[in-house]
């Protein structure tokens, strides 16, 4: 079975709702390869994984937080 999640960009994954709508190229590809019910299950698993990867990349970097002002 092909690894379809790598075929699409992060922007395409961001736009996918995971419901299997007709306008979504990702959903239609999964349904075409795996069938309707198994395709939607696999789509949602991969979608969650891609969402987790996106949020993992945002962590880290400089922390924003200035000095706290103390009241006199």
Burial 4-35 (b: 16+ CB within 10 A, else e): bbeebeeeebeebebebeeebebbebbbeebe
pLDDT digits (tens, 9 = 90+) for 1-13: 568 888 888 888 8
pLDDT of residue 53: 76
**Is the pTM above the cut of 0.75?**
no
Domain range list for the chain = 17-57
pLDDT digits (tens, 9 = 90+) for 2-45: 688 888 888 888 888 888 888 889 999 999 999 999 999 999 99
Give the largest Cα separation in the chain, rounded. 68
């Amino acid at each position: 079975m092909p690894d379809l999640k790598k075929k699409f960009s992060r922007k395409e994954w961001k736009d996918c709702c995971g419901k299997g709508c007709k306008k979504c190229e990702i959903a239609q590809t999964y349904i075409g390869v795996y069938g309707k019910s198994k395709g939607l299950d696999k789509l949602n698993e991969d979608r969650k994984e891609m969402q987790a990867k996106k949020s993992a990349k945002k962590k880290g970097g400089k922390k924003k937080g200035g000095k706290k002002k103390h009241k006199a």
